[in-house]
Structure 1
Amino acid sequence: MPDNKIPAAMITAPGSGQGKSMVTAALARLHRNAGRNVRVFKHGPDYLDPMVLEVASGNPVYQLHPWMTGEDECRWRLAEAAQSADLILVEGSMGLFDGSPSSGDLAKLAGIPALPVIDAKGMAQTFGAVAMGLARFDTELPVHQVIANKIGSPYHGELLRESLPEGISLLGAMPRNDAMNIPDRHLGLVQAAEMDDLSDRLDKAAEVMMSAGLDVLPKPVSFHYEAPSRPEQLLAGLRIAVARDAAFSFIYRANLDLLTAMGAELVYFSPLKDSEVPMADALWLPGGYPELHAGTLAENQAMLASIRAFHRAGKPILAECGGLMACAEELADKDGKVHSLLGLVPGRATMANRLTALGLQSLETQLGGLRGHTYHHSSLETPWQPAARAKKQAGSEGEAVYRDQKLVASYFHGYFPSAPALISAIFRGEEVRFS
């Protein structure tokens, strides 16, 4: 793959809640509206931000994470994007140096400078100290510019600019503006498909960015890496039904790409609106928000019966997180109302008022280790004993994995390209020996 040098930046922050998600989306829309081909990536296992970033940029968004997706894939995806893009933006996760590997680690791996977004509300000269700390904490990571967010006035912006130490400049100062806000809920941003006015919101946010002088391009970065070999056709001739609607939407693009590259035919359906599973050899119930649509799911008796019949026929089913919740006999939503669902897994999934699990995990088998993560606000009470347990990144015990006939169900979200042979075995209903 030839070497390409194009403008690129890692949009990051001192911590969560600084506004980097909307700044990234607004920057992508600003440059797209200027006629540029913008490619955006997201650091870490996030489903919701990429949905918004795809609308903002008009291009597919992939996750990059040196541990979950692998270092080679991170380099390759960026190099591939650089073949046709005019600008590459990577949205970080949490704070610049939070997590392992952190957004800063990815930036160093890719050779991309960090561009921190700092919430300057209630801050003046200390802004410079925060910027200096981010720039000097890791001398191998370049931080040449910062963005001030939520300034109160032009004078406030000048105070922030004057506070910066030598070698760090203020790329722009964003005023407080409703256009830079986007609704969220317990798992993060509201799904892009649920906001009818999202494109208008992004255009208005882009105008705010323009007025703040943020229409300049970051410095060019060189990208070069060889493309991976084509995966084996392990799923040739297999038809996989994929649940995809407002209740089941947490799907990595890379997972779909891999299934197709391995020869599978994918057919999508809505458990909320359709009456039966399409003709298929296997079924995937991904994560999402079944708790927000439990009443509709419970009322769609035809679909519930179709999925139960699919299971009775001995066909493979992979249920992840929200998919696992839907497979339970009952789901108690956040208001305490109990809904009768599929009953493929005995017991009840119950929503909690707090986060019940978060973090990177892996599932080890004789066919390799499937890497991924967990993130949910519910718990499952079931008499079943796990067939296996995923392992947390630190090595301790993680999510339970349940198996019944050819059903594999867990709160664990897998990144399929990390273990193609294992994913093929699951969708073919083959026996898998867990480590």
Structure 2
Amino acid sequence: MTSQGARACAAVLVAAPASGQGKTTVAAALARLHARQGRTVRAFKCGPDFLDPHWLALATGAPVHSLDLWMTGEADCRARLGAAAEVADLVIVEGVMGLFDGAPSAADLAERFGLPVLAVIDARAMAGTFGALAFGLQHFRPGLPWLGVLANRVASERHGGMLQEALREPAQWLGGLPKAGEFALPERHLGLVGAAELDHPIARLDAAADALAATPLGRRSLDSLPPFRVDLPTVSMTPVQPLLAGRTIAIARDAAFAFIYPANLDLLQALGARLVFFSPLAGDTLPACDAVWLPGGYPELHAGVLSACHALRDALAAHAAAGRPIWAECGGMMALFETLVAADGVAHAMWGLLPGRVAMQKRLAALGPQQLALQGTPLRGHTFHYSLSETTLVPAARTTRPGAAQAAGTGEAVYVRGSVRGSYFHAWFPSSPDAAARLFLPAPIAFADA
């Protein structure tokens, strides 16, 4: 495949030695700092994630897509980065977990596309070791594009000086952010609290941007950053067939059902579907539609309200009885069981389209990339949940891990009851448009091993 040169812009991949170091805070602060100065900023999230993108989208004012060399694929990553570079002054990619964690990792993405790495290190209770961590991150993989290191949660000016002195190369120091509650982003069991759930989220981003503006990183001009360019393929992608033309898909979307990739919505529309949204938490009933998508989210935090949605429950039952499809992912599936036991042990009657119950656990129940074969075509995605289900239904299929043998009966179950299809599996629809379309068509699905 031949390629053509693309416009250059500034770019950075914000990484860390582990989760919880402050990657999202720094990435969103950097985006907000430049966006409020009138620059065009585009942000991405490395790996599967629904929550961090909420903050990045708020900071940039634009949709935030995922980049993953396995789940979304290199061609998709290249096309999205290239499109962003064509319009942006600055492209920011937030890493996932630690810089070298996962397969593929954030380091793999940085290396593949030449994205310079900004390492964020939580420096609490640390001095000289800060230098060792920074040196190791930079040199663990020879040739990794590198920008520098930023300390997070710095206790004092003196502490910051100790951290800076610990670096072997003074030019690597890009500053430090103080320990400050006014811009800390709160977390819960699946990750950060969504921006829409907090009061004055922009004020938090502005406080973080103000703090970053006082650092060497914040004072650097974009012209001083290494130019970033993505070679765009000259061969166009195969057009998506309008397999859902004329069909209306109703999608639950609110604080209980917020785990929606913008790329999935784009793909459904490219397939020809008309999308309508409804909020169970606001008391909405089911809009007129041909199919329903109940995405993941936090039904366990709103179980009392969802339990009282009797009109919606009855409408979903009538929809299923008429043979119209329902695709329910993770939290969406949880709401369809008869009972949901929340973390406090309280049992809530749910919508009852699937027999059995789900119960929240104290520990993570599953995490990682997964794929599901529909009609022999693999649909890629992932899983991440704290609840477990108990049901008399026999799984119609199970997901598999990429490139790994696994014991029989493992992987995420896919439950089918009439036209209702549910799983803990989160699908990335663009990985297989044909397979994604089948989830919203009334014809039975032939599942197989991926």
Q: TM-score, normalised by structure 1?
A: 0.97
Q: Is 1:67 the equivalent of 2:70? A: yes
Cα–Cα, structure 1 residues 183 and 318, in superposed 2: closer, same or farther, change >3 Å?
same
Amino acid at match of 2:442: G
Aligned to 1:28: 31
Amino acid at match of 2:272: G
Aligned to 2:40: 37
Q: Aligned partners of 2:373, 2:385: CA distance in 1, in Å?
A: 21
Deviations 1:23-53 (A, max 9, x none): 1111111111111111010011100000111
Does the aligned pair in 2 maintain the 1:54–1:61 contact within 8 Å?
yes
Aligned to 1:285: 294
Deviation of the 1:367 alpha carbon: 4.4
Aligned to 2:102: 99
Q: 3-state SS of the aligned residue for 2:112?
A: helix
Q: Is 1:130 the equivalent of 2:133? A: yes
Amino acid at match of 1:434: F
Aligned to 1:141: 144
Aligned to 1:221: 228
Q: Aligned partners of 1:421, 1:229: CA distance in 2, in Å?
A: 12
Q: Aligned partners of 1:241, 1:130: CA distance in 2, in Å?
A: 48
Q: Which runs of 5+ in 1 are unaligned?
A: none
Q: Aligned partners of 1:395, 1:94: CA distance in 2, in Å?
A: 24
Q: Is 1:406 the equivalent of 2:419? A: yes
Q: Is 1:231 the equivalent of 2:240? A: yes
Q: 3-state SS of the aligned residue for 1:180?
A: coil
Moved over 4 A (4+): none
Q: 3-state SS of the aligned residue for 2:158?
A: helix
Q: Is 1:113 the equivalent of 2:120? A: no
Deviation of the 1:428 alpha carbon: 1.0
How much is the aligned-residue C-alpha RMSD, in angstroms? 1.4
Aligned to 1:302: 311
Amino acid at match of 2:71: M
Deviation of the 1:154 alpha carbon: 2.3
Q: Aligned partners of 1:160, 1:219: CA distance in 2, in Å?
A: 25
Amino acid at match of 1:149: N
Aligned to 1:89: 92
Q: 3-state SS of the aligned residue for 2:356?
A: strand
Q: 3-state SS of the aligned residue for 1:24?
A: helix
Deviations 1:144-170 (A, max 9, x none): 411111222223222222222248511
Q: Aligned partners of 2:124, 2:427: CA distance in 1, in Å?
A: 38
Aligned to 2:322: 313
Aligned to 1:205: 208
Aligned to 1:324: 333
Does the aligned pair in 2 maintain the 1:62–1:254 contact within 8 Å?
yes
Q: Aligned partners of 2:87, 2:329: CA distance in 1, in Å?
A: 34
Deviations 1:276-325 (A, max 9, x none): 21111000000001111111111121111111111111101100001110
Deviation of the 1:275 alpha carbon: 4.1
Deviation of the 1:422 alpha carbon: 1.0
Q: How does 1:329-348 map to 2 (within 5 A)?
A: 329-348=338-357
| Bigger mean CA deviation after superposition, 393-402 or 378-387 | 393-402
Q: Aligned partners of 1:58, 1:371: CA distance in 2, in Å?
A: 28
Does the aligned pair in 1 maintain the 2:278–2:284 contact within 8 Å?
no
Q: 3-state SS of the aligned residue for 2:124?
A: coil
Q: Aligned partners of 1:12, 1:338: CA distance in 2, in Å?
A: 40
Deviation of the 1:361 alpha carbon: 0.5
Aligned to 1:50: 53
Does the aligned pair in 2 maintain the 1:76–1:224 contact within 8 Å?
no
The sequence identity of aligned pairs, in percent, is 51
Deviations 1:115-149 (A, max 9, x none): 10011222222211111111111113122411111
Q: Is 1:185 the equivalent of 2:188? A: yes
Amino acid at match of 1:40: A
Amino acid at match of 1:427: F
Aligned to 2:265: 256
Q: Aligned partners of 1:69, 1:426: CA distance in 2, in Å?
A: 19
Q: Aligned partners of 1:410, 1:375: CA distance in 2, in Å?
A: 11
| Bigger mean CA deviation after superposition, 73-82 or 389-398 | 389-398
Q: Aligned partners of 2:129, 2:300: CA distance in 1, in Å?
A: 43
Deviation of the 1:193 alpha carbon: 1.1
Deviation of the 1:418 alpha carbon: 0.7
Q: Which runs of 5+ in 2 are unaligned?
A: none
Deviation of the 1:328 alpha carbon: 0.3
| Bigger mean CA deviation after superposition, 249-258 or 115-124 | 115-124
Q: Is 1:382 the equivalent of 2:395? A: no
Amino acid at match of 2:230: F
Does the aligned pair in 2 maintain the 1:74–1:110 contact within 8 Å?
no
Q: Aligned partners of 1:47, 1:345: CA distance in 2, in Å?
A: 25
